[in-house]
Structure formats: structure tokens, C-alpha cells
Amino acid sequence: MADKAFITPIVLKWARESARMSVETAAAKVNVPAIRLVEWESGRSQPTIKQAQTLAKAYKRPFAIFFLPDIPRDFQPLQDFRRSDSKPLSTGSVFIIREIQQKHAWISETNRENGETKFPFVGRFSIKYNPADVAQDILNTLNISPGKYLGVNAIKEWIDKAEAKGIFISRTSFINAYLTLDSEELQGFAIADHYAPFVFINSDDWNAPQLFTLVHELAHLWIAETGISADIEPTIQKLDKLHPIELFCIEVAANALMPSYLFQNLGGDIYKSASQVFNVAKTFGVSSFAVLVRGLNLGIISFDQYRSLKNAADAEFKAFLIKEAEKKAKQKESVGGPSYYLLQIQKNSRLFTQTVLDAFRGGNLEPTQASSLLNVKINHFHNLEAQLYK
């Protein structure tokens, strides 16, 4: 007979509920009826050690936590700036938020203990300021010139320059092979810490919306507003349902990526056709929709022009997505998917990966903690380093 794990029932239940996992889903992880899991959570019976270990892995909690006498203190939930009718956060979203919070907690504490200087841009402004002024300060701080992205990977430039200033940028669309993220549920979030500013971007979308999300989350750092975001791109609908912080950060992102002086200089000629709008969008690293909304908001085009061009742009965008999907499929067939270790670096943040590896190589971080922070076994660290220096 297998040894029983005499866990604390209320802690087992808390671990499942905090993972946003139903009784049925959790029970299936250990191949038992749902009623059996309910018995474990109420203390009427106990799981085996192996079953408890499987549940700990599924809930992404340390096995030892189940034996605590009471529910432990957990990371504080991030403020939810999404619309009131947004999808509830699912297991994937909860897990990625918790993972980034763990990374942030370590690097923030490390920087404080080392006497690092606070980042001056975090909280430099508030929503009382002009969004255009905040946008310009972001551009100045990161040394970015917008509107020059034709043939250039815009989001890579922004990430590289943000991390060069000490901002950790995590970007992924998966937790594991079986659990992915939904961009309609969560597009990004920011942790506005003076010692360890962190930004997460859900990469379950094409590059233009991801870039807008990134700049939007940077705006959260500049006004020191930690929280979760969705419905980030410019819109002309549902404005009444958006949080004031979100509205402000959308305006900042629009001004940073599509400064009004550049658009005014280009004039109305860029709106002669959907194809022209699409080409301008690529130059600015944004979507055609963002360019249309920007033109409408700046008074360059009328609402009738906007509506007509949007219908044409939607059709052209669908054709573009089909071509992109075909291109990616061919690339995958010829060279395979991206390296697992590259995906881990993007998920961890390139800057965070480098920081952890430096601390580990310097003897300032225990091997098990370094492995846990990077989600990679110690004997595979050389694979991470190989990708870092490519």
C-alpha cells in the first residue's frame, strides 16, 4: 500500500483554487474521481505521497507547502485594469503572473541589498500630465526615434533598449506544452518597482499589437501604476468601460509610437488607400487599425473615411495574416521551431537571465535557486548562455 501524505486539507484546497483550477480538472491530473479530491480537501481521506507531489506540480507550488499548518501568505494580486466584462483570469494567466512575481521579488530584493540606485523614470509622471509629454520622455529615456521601422524588427529594438535601461521584459504565450495564454484575456502587465521594473507581454498575437502592449506597459512604469491590462490598442468604442489609467496609457503609447508631429507632417495623403495605410503602419511598427484611429483622433480623416478604410484594411490584414502563417509554416518545415532555450530567455527576460547567470557564476546564488528562477536545469545553463551571446 502506498504511503499516505498527511497534508493540511485547507492548504490543498487553497492551492487548487489559487491556480484557478476546477475540482474536475485537478482530479484528472491524478486520475481519480472528483469526489476523491473533495475528500482530500475536506480531510476525510488523504492522497498518496505521489498523488500529492503530482498536484503540487500541477498547481505550481512546492510540495512542502501542503504540510504547513495553515494557508501561507501569497503574492498580492496585481490590480486589474481590464474592463469589468473581461474574461476571468484562467490558470495560465495566474501562473505567468505568479512566475513573474517570483522573479521580480528576487531581483528587487537583490538590488536593494546591493544598494543599487532607484530607477528615476519609475513614477516620474502621473495621469495628471499630458500623455504626449510622458511619451516623449519614454522616447528620450530609451533613445528611440519612431516611424523608422520599415524592414526593421520594431519590437526587438524597443525590448533591447528598454532592457539596456534596466527594465526586465518577459515575453511569452505559453506556460508549458499543454497550457497557453489567451491574448483576449491578458495582453500584458507591469510591476512598477523603483528597483526592479518588470513588464510582461503576451506574445499570443502578431508583432504590432505586442509592440503597442509593450509601450503601454512602459507607460504604467512611468506613472508607477502596477497592474494587468487587456484591450490595449487604440479604440473608438467602449471607452466608457476602460479604466482611466488604461485610457491614459493607451494615449501615451499612441503618442510614443505615432507622434502627432510626424502624422501632421505626413498629412492626409497616407489615407488615400488601405494599402497606403498598411505601408505607413509597417513604418511605425503598428497595425493599420492603430494608424486609422490615430488619424481620426488627430482630425486628419473623417469618421466616414475611417469606416471605409477600416473595412478595406480588415480585408487586407486577413490576407496578410494568411501569407504570414504560410511563411512561418515553411520556415518551421525547413529549420524547425525556435530553440527551447531561446524561448526560455524570452520568457525569463534576457536581462533577467543574464543577471541570474552572473550571480550563479559569481557564487552569489545557490544552484537550486538559479535553476528555479530560470526554469532550466543547471547542467543546461550552457545552452542558455549560447543563445544569449548569439
pLDDT tens for each residue of 255-289? 999 999 998 888 778 888 888 888 899 999 998 88
The yes-or-no verdict on residue 291 having pLDDT over 80 is yes
- Dihedral of CA 344/347/348/351: which sign? positive
Please check whether residues 87 and 130 belong to one and the same domain: yes
161: enclosing H helix or E strand? helix 154-164
3-class DSSP state of 200? strand
* 218-222, 299-303, 320-324 — most confident range: 218-222
Band (112; pLDDT cuts 50, 70, 90): very high
Please check whether residues 305 and 367 belong to one and the same domain: no
Please check whether residues 250 and 267 belong to one and the same domain: no
Question: Grid coordinates in use for 63?
Answer: 510540495
Which pLDDT value is given to residue 319? Answer: 75
Mean pLDDT of 199-209: 90
DSSP code for 165: T
Which pLDDT value is given to residue 77? Answer: 85
In a domain, 241, yes or no: yes
The residue among 202, 226, 257 that closes a domain is: 257
- HEC per residue, 282-308: HHHCCCHHHHHHHHHHCCCCCHHHHHH
In a domain, 1, yes or no: no
Please check whether residues 266 and 348 belong to one and the same domain: no
Q: What percent of the chain has pLDDT over 70?
A: 94
Please check whether residues 97 and 26 belong to one and the same domain: no
Please check whether residues 175 and 44 belong to one and the same domain: no
pLDDT tens for each residue of 305-337? 888 888 887 777 777 777 766 766 665 555 566
Please check whether residues 253 and 266 belong to one and the same domain: no
In a domain, 70, yes or no: no
pLDDT tens for each residue of 349-380? 999 999 999 999 999 999 999 999 999 999 99
In a domain, 4, yes or no: no
The residue among 30, 46, 65 that closes a domain is: 65
Q: What percent of the chain has pLDDT over 90?
A: 63
Which pLDDT value is given to residue 1? Answer: 55
Asked whether 12 and 41 are in contact (CB, 8 A), the reply is: yes
The yes-or-no verdict on residue 24 having pLDDT over 80 is yes
Which pLDDT value is given to residue 329? Answer: 63
First to last CA, the chain: 52
The residue among 214, 239, 257 that closes a domain is: 257
In a domain, 299, yes or no: yes
> pTM of the predicted model, to two decimals?
0.89
In a domain, 58, yes or no: yes
Please check whether residues 237 and 384 belong to one and the same domain: no
Please check whether residues 52 and 83 belong to one and the same domain: no
The mean of the pLDDT values for the chain is 89
Please check whether residues 99 and 245 belong to one and the same domain: yes
Which pLDDT value is given to residue 370? Answer: 93
Band (86; pLDDT cuts 50, 70, 90): confident
In a domain, 140, yes or no: yes
In a domain, 374, yes or no: yes
DSSP string over 96-146: HHHHHHHHHHHHHHHHHHTTPPPPTTTTS--TTS-HHHHHHHHHHHHT--S
Mean pLDDT of 198-219: 93
Question: What's the CA gap between 244 and 247, in Å, rounded?
Answer: 5
Which of 35-44, 47-56, 273-282 is predicted with the least confidence, judged by mean pLDDT? Answer: 273-282
Please check whether residues 160 and 291 belong to one and the same domain: no
Give the domain range for residue 381: 340-388
Q: How many CA atoms lie within 13 A of 57 on its CB side?
A: 9
Domain count along the chain: 4
Band (184; pLDDT cuts 50, 70, 90): confident
Which pLDDT value is given to residue 41? Answer: 94
Please check whether residues 202 and 60 belong to one and the same domain: no
**If you compute the radius of gyration of the chain from its CA atoms, what whole number of angstroms results?**
23
The yes-or-no verdict on residue 169 having pLDDT over 60 is yes
